[in-house]
Structure 1
Amino acid sequence: MRTDKAHDIMRTYHNPLKFMFAPQSVALIGATEKEGSVGRTLLWNLISNPFGGTVFPVNPKRKSILGIRAYPSLKDLPESVDLAIIATPAPTVPDLIRQCVETGVKGAIIISAGFKEIGAEGVKLEQEILKEAKKGNLRIIGPNCLGLICPTSGLNASFASTSPRLGNVGFISQSGAFCTSILDWSLRENLGFSAFISIGSMLDVNWGDLIYYLGDDPQTQSIVIYMESIGNARDFISAAREVALTKPIIVIKGGRTEAAARAAASHTGALTSSDEVLASAFRRCGVLQVDTISEIFNMAELLAKQPRPKGKRLTILTNAGGPGVLATDALTWGKGKLADLSEETMEKLDEILPPHWSRSNPIDILGDATPERYAQALEIASKDDHSDGLLVILTPQDMTDPTQTAEALLRVAQNIKDKPIIASWMGGSTVATGREILNRADIYTQSYPDDGARLFNLMWRYSNNLNALYETPSFAESEPLIDRPLASKIISHAQATGRSLLTEYESKQLLKAYGIPTVETRIALSAEEARAIALEIGFPVVLKLHSETVTHKTDVGGVQLNLRDEEAVINAFESIKNGVSENDFLGVTVQPMVDLTGYELILGSSDDPQFGSVLLFGAGGELVEVFKDQALGLPPLNTTLARRLIERTKIFKALQGVRGRKPVDIAQLEQILVLFSQLVIEQPLIKEIDINPLLANENQLISLDARVLLYPPDTKDIPRPAIRPYPIQYISHHTLKNGDRFTIRPIRPEDEPKIVNFCTALSEQSVYFRFFHSISRQSLISHERLARICFIDYDQEIALVACDEEEDIRAIARLSRIHGDLASAEIGLLIKDNYQHQGLGTVLTESMINIARQEGIKYLRADMLIDNHAMQNLCRKLGFELHSHDHLVQAILTIDDITP
């Protein structure tokens, strides 16, 4: 007998939140006939936009509303409903949510305002609502929202004055007023939507839930977001990272000028703001952030019509010099580049263009350009490998035919598949027909060429971000370099003595515990001891204040450099001691004087209340806050992400070698960033940490100074990382009955080459049993496919690989959460043919069950073909409940039924 929960899993597996967007029945609580009221508008929108379901008005004071029978309460309805819309005063809402749970309502939209936006009383109401909703797994959109509209199903569960057209853009807004403005604008611009959602205060359903839903929705081609606050950062990043691979996610952020609170004791904190952190998060998950409302929908249309560029090089084709110059300015100001025309391209253009053409990019084909000249020039320019995109500009001159030129371009454009084409037909009525021809054929048009160039810049940045996310990193073995017990000991000792600020000596020891090179540092309590250490180390030396209270030592004369003899050391000791109070002085540290030839860098981290630890890298030294040449990133990093972080700074060019200086070891710098990101994410008690300066030259990379600020021991709410780190707790070691030893560990991006070898050796039957269809060998090992296997979000799925003693992968098991159901997950298993039937599948599946238990997952699901008897036997042995459906078998396991 199938359990109710198993039935729910199978029903909702492919349709998270479907009951809110295409309900079979809707109850409107607060329905009324009062003119101009929210309750009347909601009811009218529901009944005048047929969605194929039943509407039940709920009002205890009326027997009918707008001619429809009304009911006193949810309990009086003749049937349970999928969706309840609540438009009553805020104090009444907790009891109404309780009734929703009692009567089996699946989802609720709370239109009502008067919650956390009014203060503590409203927050308390929200907590009551959430407590009641969780009792019945009731999903909630709102409160304080406009509602939602789903043109694909016909549902209008909003109090908007109009309904949007059907289209392919999924729109989510945190502002109801912004929704109504966009709705009016879209009708004028003939823009359609697949979903139109006012998300409100995000008490329950958040960005991540809706991004997953729209990502699974076949009608939605792109997702557009107006955001005021991120809410649950980890949920947003998890969903965006997954969906952005297949559908553009375009965000405009409101309130960007409001700076975050500065961390007074930290260089890093002083250099970051909430807007910069959010922009960094968007880059990390492949989201495109834009600055204007027009850019949102322009980019949604452009990305839907044209392929993404492979780089930043644009070829401009124009029949007038001025517009080409303006487009070039916009392109270069946005850090795009004009494509360098190849000699072959130049020669072919010479053959078809008049003698006086520009002979450079922009390609000015002159004001008398015919449609045929446009088409020939575009065809030649499109074949130049030095170009990543094309901007075609037409100005309506006397000898120009905008309509015929558009038609001629289409004949060429239909053969250009790998580069975006942007057309700028400048003018009004004279070019309107030509512009319409281009638009209907999916050639994106803009009235102004500089806007076209700006949109190309947005395109290549977006493409770069996506490519960087899934570029295979080089393998950097860090485990042998890390001494986690030592790091924990240093932090625990500081807290035990009531300190939140580590001494410089402790800070450097902490860095060393994570394999980060630091200058040799010793503590001297007296001038004589400092002299003796200096003699042992060798002159010249540096003396620095050793203090548990002073943050920036240079501000109090606490740093004495280039001390070349014993007398200088003694004098420096006394000077440092006399510069601070007795309570601030614990002695000095003595270090060798390092050759400062090279570049001073800063590497730091501070905590953001929403995103957790945020990394900073850039130009360092005493003027770090003046030059402000830094880039932000979210941990954890791999070598590719570290490289991208370094590349976003101006000093990166110098690090590659300039003016006769040899380059620094960028590969070692990448590894230092990777190790540093592990430090901040594995030691959550670190609130702020700076390495400044990190000296970089051709011979070495070494930390000269470091400071670490901890959270006080009684801190309760430490922000968690926005991106879950590699789960080292799930590494285990096993010996099979035949004596084979295996390490089972979570997969990592660096495993891609090993996965290629693993997939290459699989039989067709093993592939067919796992994926339910045949896959060509080339497709099986393509980077695009393997990126999805190796670059995973550990918050949403855990993939385990079984490695033999040579570190070759012999099996893969995967645990993936089901969208919209936090308590349920799907598992899959694939074992190399010659390692099947040896117990490895049992070990991996048992490991998955244990992980599911630790992750709070209660129900596991496995799908398999009906003739995959080995997998069925394995599931049956481990306690799964099997159900046959046509050619498939579905196995469901309730974790609570299994003894740990």
Structure 2
Amino acid sequence: MPQAMPGYFFTPKHIVLVGASERADSLGEQILTSLLGSPFDGTITPVNLRHRFVAGIRAYTSPAHIPEGADLVIAVTPPDSYEALFKACRKKQLHHIILIQDWPTLPEEAWRTARQLIKKYHGEELSISVCNPAGFQLPTQGLNAGIQDDYPAGHVAFLSGDDAVSHEVTQMLRRMKQGLSRHISLNFALTPVSAADWLNRFGHNRHTRVAVIHYNTLENPRKLFSAVRYFARHTPVILYCTHAADKTEKAVLNCLARHNNFLPVFTPEHLESTLHAYLAELKPVQQLTALANTPAAWLQPTAEKYAVRLQLPTRKPRLNQGNLGTYATASAYRSAAVEQLQKPDCQALLAVIAADSEHHETAVSRVLKNLARTSDKPLLISSRFSDGLLHFSHPEQALQALSLANTVAQLQQEQQQTAPPAADNLKTPDPQAVRQAIESSSPSKLVQALHLPKCQNQCRHEAVRLTAFVHPHYGWTVSAVYQGKTAAVLPPFSSLDAQFLAQTADIVEFSQEINQFLHSLSALTETADDFGNISLCFGNGQTVSNIHFKNKAAAKLKTAQRPTAAEIFRSFNINSATEFIRQTSESAAELLSHKPAAPPKPVGIQNVRAPYPADSGNWQTTDGKTVFIRPFRPEDAAAKQQFIRKLPPESRQTRFMAAINELPPATLARFSRLDYHAEGAYIAENSDGIAAVSRFSRLTRDECEFGITVAEKMRSSGLSAEMMRRIILLATQQGYKSMSAEILKSNTAMLKLAEKSGFTLTPSAEDKQLYQAKLRLLPDETADRHNFPQKNLHKNHKLS
């Protein structure tokens, strides 16, 4: 649900604790003790049915009886009290509620009661989150609302779904002498405010350098990964997966990581090493030098496992393959370390201190720790008595941290990549032929309709197999199995995915076949439900297809009905309508244009990545010329760059507010690799190439900003208004409440277009040369629901 209610959650000044108690070992007593024991300087008001004072603080029998308002209500009472609580909070206009219970100890009936009442009351007036006893903490503000000990303040934001995981991660941070900026432990099974919603609430925080998100497999994955993608634009994200993920799911998550710029980790050791890499800001290291006071040659295969070149220096008689000898003194160890760090080919140094006498081990650790402070090269220390960001309990963890630093750097490079233009010789399948082949369960007809190689039951000396199938959680997936490894790509596919599969599986010579396979699958995933799977096998210089159908009943396309967007809007439940549109991307055209309801669409598979909008087609300009308008795709990056280069300098200046000749690579990559769940772009083409581009991207969960660029020849053709109309409609479908932009006062054409499209123009308070343009897309939640007729929305959008 969009967070539009008053009172920003992370700056609470007044907290109400419902169920506050002095009774020993009660949850109300533990939470109250944590609140009162932390240096929180806000107001805490207890609610208790029996006592006028709790812990010496004036208490009330209900939140509705508290004289002043509050920013947050924390309730530790049982579920059978929730209905009265929610009614009282609604009456008092206390919008934010966090329910904390020791849920595993409650019977199933209590869970059912909680689920029913939360579903009934969460929405327009109440935002309800459900937490485990670990609750939530804002250590940087001295606030602890949970049963665990105060967390030290630090630079990690942590969203967990389990108290044990919360404890595990905080222990890791303590070993590194690090702390948290914010933490919440949600009950994933009950909370209506999901991990994605809370990630949106986290926002950009100056205290946070990295966020750890405990993966919630129960929530909508498209919504979650879209939220991760946006958050990762300003803060690195680690996705901590504690469930049993198989090879295929790990490959899928790594694919999502490439698209959404996060790092998935699957074990506690993996997580701890990743935190070391991020918090220590380790730079990429290709070669590592190692010293030890014990034989160290055994580290070589471990380094190879992590793709790190390990150098073990030898200098007779005292240094042999990195081994200084068991009795090397602290000063001798330091001398050898200084010598290695001064060598030009030394990028980083790993010092392994063997477990011998505690005094000797501690002395060496202390000396090297002080040396690390003065070194301009990373000095990693492995010892039982080392602590800090570059100190590790065993050398393998240090190697893993370096490997992860290299992975992070590679991930950042991948964000700069743009897709090569689509191949000219790709054949597009006929949807009707594909449908008929599936319904007849004919492998030969299907490969023919998809323009794939002939079918064969098996491929001789198969080396690589690409298989398209429906994953139960992520939707359509293409997995690549090669050399005992698995990789994956997800629709909507691009030429960048084909390039990745060819290079990763080392089948570059089959690039044409891979491109055609993904191109054909793009049509297939838009047409078919889960009919089975289709494979492309490579081996011994040949390529063959293999198809496995499920039973005929499963092969048929599903036609289950669902309510239309208009029906939900007409129920006057604005939040439900917004969320429905955001998750289904159903067109709101019926509502906006007064047209009768269209027949129900088939309910297909929701892929984890949002598809392209299905509104491509020819459009006529006011002077009778025809352009083709379609959603922007990754393969359009090079054409867009050429389009920008051809613009007159003054057009580039007004559009980008800078004197540029072309888009920087990072900007071009970001503009061309879109998430159509939360942003969008359209491209208009004619015989000259690109005629116009319009786009919008997220500012907050409720507001997006737009940009439009039109070729000089297409000015005054009506194309700008059409490109604006499309992004307004798509942004509305995605659930944004408003659209805005900063426009130069000298850009009179854009100012006129904005006004004509219904935007309100106001002078910028920050820059006298700018106007702030803003358009309301959806009504405010606080508005009277009965004052939301179709004509008002239609008027605001100027779509007629």
Normalised to the residue count of structure 2, the TM-score between the two structures is 0.79
User: How far apart are residue 285 of structure 1 and its match?
Assistant: 3.6
**Gaps (5+ residues) in structure 1?**
1-7, 260-271, 342-348, 384-388, 495-501, 520-541, 543-558, 560-593, 620-626, 657-664
After TM superposition, give the deviation of residue 165 of structure 1 in Å. Answer: 1.5
1:220 matched residue in structure 2 = 208
For 2:793, give the aligned amino acid.
Answer: D
Instruction: Report deviation, 1:898.
Output: 1.9
CA RMSD of aligned residues (A): 4.1
Partner amino acid, structure 2, of 1:839 = G
Alignment of 1:173 onto 2:160: yes
Which residue of structure 2 aligns with residue 723 of structure 1? 609
1:815 maps to: 696
Aligned length: 724
Per the alignment, do residues 247 and 307 of structure 1 end up closer, same or farther by CA in structure 2, a change over 3 Å counting? farther
Match of 2:573 in 1: none
The code of the aligned residue for 1:638 comes to S
Query: For residues 890 and 604 of structure 1, do their structure 2 counterparts lie closer, same or farther at Cα, with a shift above 3 Å needed?
Result: same
Q: 1:129 aligns with which of 112, 118, 128?
A: 118
2:13 to 24, 49, 64: 24
Shift of 1:290: 3.1
Q: Per-residue deviation at 1:249? A: 2.1
SS in 2 for 1:843: helix
Q: Which runs of 5+ in 2 are unaligned?
A: 561-602, 779-791
Name the CA distance, whole Å, in 2 between partners of 1:127 and 1:667: 53
Give the Å deviation of 1:859: 3.5
**Residue type at the aligned position of 1:723:** R
> Distance between the aligned counterparts of 1:473 and 1:321, measured in 2?
49
Q: Partners of 1:601 and 1:193 in 2: how far apart?
A: 44
Residues 13-47 of structure 1: CA distance to partner in whole angstroms, max 9, x if unpaired? 9xx99722212332222222322222223233334
Deviation at 1:374, TM superposition (A): 4.0
Match of 1:551 in 2: none
Counterparts of residues 111-130 of structure 1 (less than 5 Å): 111-112=100-101, 119=108, 122-123=111-112, 125-130=114-119
1:817-839 Cα shifts (integer Å, max 9, x gaps)? 45443xx5333334456755553
- SS of the residue 1:142 aligns to: strand
Task: Report the residue type matching 1:392 in the other structure.
Answer: L
In 1, the alpha carbon distance for the partners of 2:194 and 2:70 equals: 22
Q: SS of the counterpart of 2:191?
A: coil
- State the shift of 1:726 in Å: 2.7
Partner of 1:288: 263
Kept after mapping to 2: 8 A contact 1:481/1:513: no
Opposite residue 446 of structure 1, the aligned amino acid is F
Residue in 2 aligned with 1:662?
none
Residue 736 of structure 1 corresponds to: 621
Name the counterpart of 1:618.
481
Alignment partners' CA distance in 1, 2:473 and 2:684: 35
Query: Following the alignment from structure 2 to structure 1, what is the Cα–Cα distance between the partners of residues 375 and 242?
Result: 41
Shift of 1:788: 1.3
- Tell me the equivalent position of 1:666: 510
The whole-number CA distance in structure 2 between the counterparts of 1:120 and 1:611 is 32
The match for 1:314 is 287
Q: Give me the whole-angstrom Cα distance separating, in 1, the residues matched to 2:674 and 2:726.
A: 18
Residue number in structure 2 paired with 1:96: 85
1:165-221: CA deviations, max 9, x gaps? 111101111102332454466456532111111122262222223334445222211
Matches within 5 A, 1:559-638: 599=462, 601-618=464-481, 630-638=486-494
Alpha-carbon shift at residue 689 of structure 1 (Å): 1.0
The 8 Å contact of residues 326 and 450 in structure 1, kept in 2 or not, is answered as no
> Could you list the per-position Cα deviations for residues 838-867 of structure 1 after superposition, in whole angstroms to 9, with x for gaps in the alignment?
533222111222223444445333343555
Q: CA deviation at 1:283?
A: 5.8
Q: Which SS does the other structure have where 1:879 is aligned? A: coil
Task: Give the Å deviation of 1:897.
Answer: 2.4
Opposite residue 706 of structure 2, the aligned amino acid is: I
Residue of structure 1 equivalent to 2:217: 229
Matched, 1:701 2:689: no
C-alpha displacement of 1:873 = 2.5
Contact 2:79–2:113, Cα closer than 8 Å, also in 1: no
Please tell me the residue identity of whatever aligns with 1:249.
V
CA distance 1:445–1:240, change in 2 (3 Å): same
1:678 is aligned with what amino acid? S
What code does the residue aligned with 1:701 have? T
Structure 2 letter corresponding to 1:474: P
Deviation at residue 80 of structure 1 after TM alignment: 3.4
Sort the Cα spacing of 1:597 and 1:828 in 2 relative to 1 into closer, same or farther, 3 A: same
Matches of 1:166 and 1:744, distance apart in 2: 51
Name the amino acid aligned to 1:510.
L
Cα deviation digits, residues 215-269 of structure 1 (max 9, x gap) = 5222211112334635221122212233335433223322327x7xxxxxxxxxx
Instruction: Measure the CA separation in 2 of the matches of 1:769 and 1:154.
Output: 46
Does 2:307 correspond to 1:332? Answer: no
Which residue of 366, 390, 402 corresponds with 2:348? 390
Residue 62 of structure 2, aligned match among 50, 73, 91? 73
Structure 1 residues 426 and 881, CA gap change in structure 2 (3 angstroms): same
Is the 1:319–1:369 contact (alpha carbons within 8 Å) kept by the matching residues of 2?
no
Larger Rg belongs to = 1
Query: What SS does structure 1 have at the residue aligned with 2:532?
Result: strand
Distance in structure 1 (CA, Å) of the matches to 2:50 and 2:75: 16
Distance 1:33 1:369 in 2: 59
The reply on whether 1:897 has 2:782 as its aligned counterpart is no
- The structure-2 alpha-carbon separation of the partners of 1:61 and 1:862, relative to structure 1 and needing over 3 Å to count, comes to farther
Judged with a 3 Å threshold, the aligned counterparts in structure 2 of structure 1 residues 454 and 29 are, in CA distance, closer, same or farther, namely same
Instruction: Evaluate the alpha carbon distance shift between residue 485 and residue 705 of structure 1 in structure 2; reply closer, same or farther with a 3 A threshold.
Output: closer
Per the alignment, residue 305 of structure 1 pairs with 280
Task: Return the alpha-carbon distance in structure 2 between the equivalents of residues 51 and 870 of structure 1.
Answer: 52
Match of 2:450 among 493, 500, 514: 514
- Map of 1:548 onto structure 2: none
Amino acid at match of 1:518: K
Alignment of 1:211 onto 2:196: no
Describe the shift of the 1:163–1:426 C-alpha distance in structure 2 as closer, same or farther (beyond 3 A): closer
Change in Cα spacing, 1:131 to 1:614, as seen in structure 2 (3 Å) is farther
Distance 1:769 1:47 in 2: 55
Mark the CA change 1:673 to 1:378 in structure 2 (over 3 Å): closer, same or farther.
Answer: farther
Is the partner of 1:21 in helix, strand or coil? coil
Give the 3 Å change call, closer, same or farther, for CA 776–852 of structure 1 in structure 2: closer
Give the counterpart letter for 2:775 in structure 1.
I
Distance across 2 between alignment mates of 1:679 and 1:118: 48
Residue by residue, what CA displacement relative to the aligned partner does 1:334-389 show, whole Å, maximum 9, x if unpaired? 4x142799xxxxxxx9xxx9577999xx7779979775764454354458xxxxx6
Correspondent of 1:45 among 34, 38, 62 = 34
Cα distance in 2 for partners of 1:402, 1:41 equals 40
**TM-score, normalising length from structure 1?**
0.71
Structure 1: which amino acid aligns with 2:606? Answer: R
> Given residue 847 of structure 1, which amino acid in structure 2 is its aligned partner?
R
Q: Does the Cα contact within 8 Å between 1:609 and 1:719 map onto a contact in 2?
A: no
CA contact under 8 A between 1:681 and 1:725: conserved in structure 2? no
> What is the one-letter code of the residue matched to 1:322?
P
Read off the aligned partner of 1:482 and give its amino acid letter.
P
Instruction: State the Cα deviation string for residues 572-591 of structure 1 (Å, max 9, x = none).
Output: xxxxxxxxxxxxxxxxxxxx
Provide the C-alpha distance between the structure 2 equivalents of 1:631 and 1:81, rounded to a whole number of angstroms: 50
1:122-521 maps to which residues of 2 (within 5 A)?
A: 122-123=111-112, 125-136=114-125, 138-144=126-132, 146-156=134-144, 158-180=145-167, 182-183=169-170, 186-187=173-174, 190-201=177-188, 203-214=191-202, 216-227=204-215, 229-244=217-232, 246-256=234-244, 278=253, 281-282=256-257, 285-309=260-284, 313-318=286-291, 322-323=295-296, 325-334=297-306, 336-338=307-309, 354=315, 374-375=337-338, 377-382=340-345, 390-393=348-351, 395=353, 413=376, 421=378, 423-424=380-381, 426=383, 428=385, 444-468=390-414, 470-477=416-423, 480-491=427-438, 494=439, 503=441, 506-519=442-455
Partners of 1:599 and 1:211 lie apart in 2 by: 44
Q: Does 1:758 align with 2:643?
A: yes
